[in-house]
Amino acid sequence: MAASAAALTLPLDRKARREEDRELVRLSQSGTESAFEELVRRHQQRVFALVGGILRRPEDVEDVAQQVFLKAFLGIKRFDQRAAFSTWLYKIAVNECWDYLRKKKVRPLVYEADLSDEQVSRLDGIVSAERPPEGPNTRAEARELLERMLAALPEQDRQLLVLKEMEGFSVQELAEILDLNVNTVKVRLFRARGRIMETYRRRADAQSKAAGVAAAQKKG
């Protein structure tokens, strides 16, 4: 999936895909169901990523993603192709996520924004390594720690960061999907990155000071 996401970011490839999308949209508008099915196949991965990035509730992602494509199908005849199909589709996805959260009266899943001493130690190992060890355990661990750190952020900053760094959306795409200025997205990303480390740094500092005091007491 990471490989396909990387391929999507190549400008030439994107341009070609956009042209293919245009043709598929035209066919879908004239009632060819197989063309719409192809559009679903081409965009399902990113819609999943987007919905997953906003809801952070794996159990709800598939249902909402299906609803997104259903709405797109019902509205495709009115889509005038002035924007890219993907942008239009992702906007439907964002609105659908917010509708879903509003109807269910739930907030996206967030953890307590605090870390235990043990978590800080583990995080130190992951963050400080220039090339952190990769593997399912490290990934799961990083994910768990990250969820806690993300809780310190306002909702929209958290979404921006998750969609950019974890789900592979570009700044340009995020600006279009969320109706924000590109520079605003960049600045908010930079600040959000710093803020999520705040929890970790504070805990790490406290831990280090406590260790220093303990060592001094032992000496004394």
Partner 1 sequence: MSTTWEFRKGACKEYELLLEDYLNRALGSAETAAAEQHLRACAPCRAAFDNAAASARLMRLAGPSEGPGPAFARTVMARIRAAEDRVADRMGVWQPLVRFGWRFAASATLVLGVLVTYDAGWVRPAQRDLNGTRVTAMTDIFAPDPGKAPASRDEVLMMEAEVTHGN
Q: Which residue in 64, 147, 74 sits closest to 98, CA to CA?
A: 64
Q: Is 8 in the site for partner 1 (CB under 8 A)?
A: no
- Alpha carbon of 220 to those of 207, 211, 212: distances in Å? 20, 14, 12
* Closer residue to partner 1 (CB): 12 or 74: 74
Q: Is the dihedral of CA 150, 155, 158, 159 positive or negative?
A: positive
Site string for partner 1, 151-170 (x = CB under 8 A): ----------xx--xxxx--
Task: Categorise residue 107: left if φ over 0, alpha if ψ from -120 to 50, beta otherwise.
Answer: beta
Instruction: Write down the residue that tokens 């806690």 correspond to.
Output: 148
Q: Is 37 in the site for partner 1 (CB under 8 A)?
A: yes
* Closer residue to partner 1 (CB): 1 or 82: 1
Q: Is 73 in the site for partner 1 (CB under 8 A)?
A: yes
Q: What's the count of helices (H) and strands (E) in the chain, helices before strands?
A: 10, 0
Distance of closest approach, residue 103 Cβ to partner 1, in angstroms: 18
Interacting residues toward partner 1 by CB under 8 A: 1-2, 5, 33, 36-37, 40-41, 44-45, 48-49, 52-53, 58, 61-62, 65-66, 69-70, 73-74, 123-124, 126-128, 132, 134, 138-139, 142-143, 145-146, 149, 161-162, 165-168, 171, 183, 186-187, 189-191, 193-194, 196-198, 201-202, 204-205, 207-208
